[in-house]
Structure 1
Amino acid sequence: FRALEYKTQVPLSASGDHVRTRLTHTIEVASLARSLARSLGLNEDLAEAIALGRDLGHPPFGHPVEHTLDRLMRGAGGFGRRLQSLRVVETLEVKYPDFNGLNLTREVRQGIHPGTSAGTSPSLESQAVDLADEVAHCCHDLEDALESGLLDPGALRGIELWKETESGIRRNYTRLNPERTRRFVSRCLADHLVEDAVRQSIASLEEFHPASAAEAGAIGQTLVTFTPLMDKKIRNLRDFLGKNFYRHPDICEVNQRASQVLQGLFEFYHLHPHLIAERAVLRIKKEGVSRAICDYLSGLTDRTAMQQYARHVGTDSLLRELTPQAA
């Protein structure tokens, strides 16, 4: 879990000390999920535990490396961060003398990677975590995009969620300067999204009135969700961030270099599998060299991945682009 501090949320060259990491994102999601669960009368501890476990299998450098590992693992079972998170808590972590894993309840493990069968839906607590993750991504990626300077605040004037939130702030805080207004938008937007989700989710729960977790799963549809109108507004914001931030040339360049680092390491360790961590080496006979290497690489932080690449494979120019500069 502590290693998530050194795995970036959205890789940014020269990102400084205050960029969000997987750890800060996970803590924010857990807090939001717990608040949602409390408002809806769900199991707060379960929602928080699911949120804290969901990103344990996330590889270094964010989503592009996840896609790279999945491509490299074709024919060997593929790779997905949710399934890898489940693998971490069930198999890879060694905290007890007589069995592997973290001894989590079935409900927590199913929430980390639902894997539901046809006609059923994830637990309500798992749905709350999904929604909290969506809120965090929208608000905090927007905040990071503005802080990085890659996104011009003026470009957001056509985005309905931004306009609504900003105008509400200006009505209530007439003396705020543009900089403080911009910084406050993310907080207010998160509150706005959560309030909408609570209203809609309460209405859905009252309509279906599931008496147990089994009944909620048998309904076969998501009950913890936004209103249709808010869902449309969120998709609009996410599309905007996709075009103007996630696919910004600077981000794309860093993503490409990060993928090169992981692919280079994957290929190197295929030639020299004895150099991966001892616990991973011991799994080669049972699960194959590719899976053992994948487990090892997905557990690296951004920093250790760059160190391994520099030691075994890399060029200074490639690593320089991936090294955040001090703020």
Structure 2
Amino acid sequence: MQRFTAPYASLPEESRGRVHPETGADFRTPFARDRDRVIHSQAFRRLKHKTQVFVYHEGDHYRTRLTHTIEVAQVARSIARALGLDEDLAEALALAHDLGHTPFGHAGERELDKLMRPYGGFDHNAQSLRIVTKLEKRYAAFDGLNLTWETLEGLVKHNGPLVDREGDPVGRYREWGLPEAIVEYAAVHELELHSYASAEAQVAAIADDIAYNAHDIDDGLRAGLFGLIDLGDVPLAGEALARVLTLYPDLDHDRVVHETVRRVMSDMIFDVIDNVKRRAKTLKLHVSGDVRQLDQPLVCFGAQMQENNRVLQSFLNQRMYRHEKIEQIMERARRVIAALFEAYTNDPELLPPGWREGGSPKDPARHARRVCDFIAGMTDRYALEQHKRLFDLDPLFR
């Protein structure tokens, strides 16, 4: 059994349980069972061919949603272990955090959100919730994966509260309101949307940031979007690069990149661990519920690392995500999503048989959500194949 040294760790024996009670407990904890169910889901397997930044056929060594997810899980588990938290819960949340992403990365999400705006929009966190509570159909007794309350809570709130204590949306939900999927589910299963999630959920969230930064440096260098010399003045990355070059002045380029990236990750991980330990001691946390009652996240970088992280992300945003090559790819991806959405909404018969049920053009909102679920679940490759099949055109990427 795991040994928890942090008094604010989530204890599996104190889980609030599942919507559909289950008997037949085995050697796994409830959170370990959640992790295993995520891994065996169809949505998890599809991450193999979903894009981070580069479309699947551009190279075998760029990250996909699956490889990114595995890296996030590794970082989350390492941090959770160092802090004495429940590693299984942190890992389950890390493995599930990207299940709701569309094909073609953020370009696909932005386009689906625009197309779905008259019907409640699209949000990948809300879509992850739909997948694990409704769209996965594997078990005889229920739809979804019937995950524990703690995993569902962490999936929805890993980036912080969604509403204030009066119930008004906050942050990125302030303008358009909460996604319909979250509102509907919270109405039947209270997830305490006004509070922070567990320490384990917060660990999974910051592990996502750490993995993103590290692998985007790696992928950006590999793609030639920027060079090692460009990292020289970037805090954190530049400092790591300088240490590598001092220790290994004759190292070949590829190893310099790897050594730099691993130092960036290590610096961020150790900063999180040290900062959380200091904060937890100051805040005098006694049980896991104390973390939810704070008015700020427990798991975060120290002040200097926060600034370093901000500058690094700004660099990547300018030099990678807004690079002309990437913007051209994403514009083509946007057009593929728009064309598929229009085709399926105008003619439901184009959908596979299992997806034609539950909506029709006579019920536009329900039909549009059905189409949205279908497209959001596609891999890059499948989306391109469907575009080719429907329009008999080159899929725009060759």
Indicate the TM-score class for this superposition, using the shorter chain for normalisation: over 0.9
Q: Cα distance, 1:174 vs. partner? A: 4.4
Can you list the C-alpha shifts for 1:25-82, whole angstroms capped at 9, x where unaligned? 0000011011111111111100100111111111001011101100100121111111
**How far apart are the structure 2 equivalents of 1:202 and 1:278?**
53
Q: Cα distance, 1:183 vs. partner? A: 2.4
Q: Does 1:122 align with 2:197?
A: yes
Map 1:309-324 to 2 at 5 A.
309-313=387-391, 315-316=393-394, 318-320=396-398
**How far apart are the structure 1 equivalents of 2:322 and 2:342?**
27
Partner of 2:22: none
**How far apart are the structure 1 equivalents of 2:289 and 2:353?**
42
Q: Alpha carbons of 1:276 and 1:45: their partners in 2 closer, same or farther (altered >3 Å)?
A: same
Partner of 1:98: 141
Q: Which amino acid aligns with 1:141?
A: D
Q: Secondary structure at the match of 2:232?
A: helix
Q: Which has the higher contact order (CA 8 A, sep 6+)?
A: 1
Gaps of 5+ in 2: 1-43, 166-194
Q: Which amino acid aligns with 1:169?
A: V
Partner of 2:111: 68
Partner of 1:298: 376
**How far apart are the structure 2 equivalents of 1:275 and 1:85?**
25
Which of 294, 316, 322 is the equivalent residue of 1:247?
322
Q: Cα distance, 1:207 vs. partner? A: 1.1
**Is residue 265–residue 313 contact of structure 1 (8 Å, CA) maintained in 2?**
no
**How far apart are the structure 1 equivalents of 2:95 and 2:223?**
26
**Is residue 8–residue 61 contact of structure 1 (8 Å, CA) maintained in 2?**
yes
Map 1:226-265 to 2 at 5 A.
226-265=301-340
Which of 348, 352, 357 is the equivalent residue of 1:273?
348
**Is residue 310–residue 319 contact of structure 1 (8 Å, CA) maintained in 2?**
no
Deviates more, 1:189-198 or 1:167-176: 167-176
Can you list the C-alpha shifts for 1:122-181, whole angstroms capped at 9, x where unaligned? 211111011100001111011000001121221111112122112222343344234421
**Is residue 93–residue 102 contact of structure 1 (8 Å, CA) maintained in 2?**
yes
Q: Cα distance, 1:280 vs. partner? A: 2.7
**Is residue 268–residue 313 contact of structure 1 (8 Å, CA) maintained in 2?**
no
Map 1:1-327 to 2 at 5 A.
1-12=44-55, 15-114=58-157, 116-118=162-164, 120-284=195-359, 288-313=366-391, 315-316=393-394, 318-320=396-398
CA RMSD of aligned residues (A): 1.7
Q: Cα distance, 1:315 vs. partner? A: 3.0
**How far apart are the structure 1 equivalents of 2:346 and 2:387?**
14
**How far apart are the structure 2 equivalents of 1:2 and 1:14?**
18
**How far apart are the structure 2 equivalents of 1:250 and 1:278?**
38
Deviates more, 1:5-14 or 1:171-180: 171-180
Q: How does the TM-score come out when normalised to structure 1?
A: 0.93
Q: Secondary structure at the match of 1:56?
A: coil
**How far apart are the structure 2 equivalents of 1:12 and 1:173?**
34
Q: Alpha carbons of 1:314 and 1:238: their partners in 2 closer, same or farther (altered >3 Å)?
A: farther
Can you list the C-alpha shifts for 1:72-117, whole angstroms capped at 9, x where unaligned? 0012111111110110000000111131010110111111112544
Can you list the C-alpha shifts for 1:255-278, whole angstroms capped at 9, x where unaligned? 000010000000000111132233
**Is residue 387–residue 395 contact of structure 2 (8 Å, CA) maintained in 1?**
no
Q: Which amino acid aligns with 1:248?
A: H
Q: Which amino acid aligns with 2:380?
A: D
**How far apart are the structure 2 equivalents of 1:181 and 1:217?**
41
**How far apart are the structure 2 equivalents of 1:13 and 1:67?**
19
Q: Cα distance, 1:14 vs. partner? A: 6.1
Q: Secondary structure at the match of 1:284?
A: coil
**How far apart are the structure 2 equivalents of 1:318 and 1:170?**
42
Q: Whose helix fraction is larger, Structure 1's or Structure 2's? A: 1
**Is residue 232–residue 241 contact of structure 2 (8 Å, CA) maintained in 1?**
no
**How far apart are the structure 1 equivalents of 2:356 and 2:316?**
41
**How far apart are the structure 1 equivalents of 2:144 and 2:90?**
20
Q: Cα distance, 1:214 vs. partner? A: 1.8
**How far apart are the structure 2 equivalents of 1:14 and 1:244?**
22
**Is residue 264–residue 313 contact of structure 1 (8 Å, CA) maintained in 2?**
no
Q: Alpha carbons of 1:12 and 1:153: their partners in 2 closer, same or farther (altered >3 Å)?
A: farther
Gaps of 5+ in 1: 321-327
Q: Which amino acid aligns with 1:172?
A: L
Q: Cα distance, 1:302 vs. partner? A: 0.3
**How far apart are the structure 2 equivalents of 1:73 and 1:314?**
26
Q: Secondary structure at the match of 2:118?
A: coil
Q: Secondary structure at the match of 1:101?
A: coil
Q: Alpha carbons of 1:13 and 1:57: their partners in 2 closer, same or farther (altered >3 Å)?
A: closer
Q: Secondary structure at the match of 2:120?
A: coil
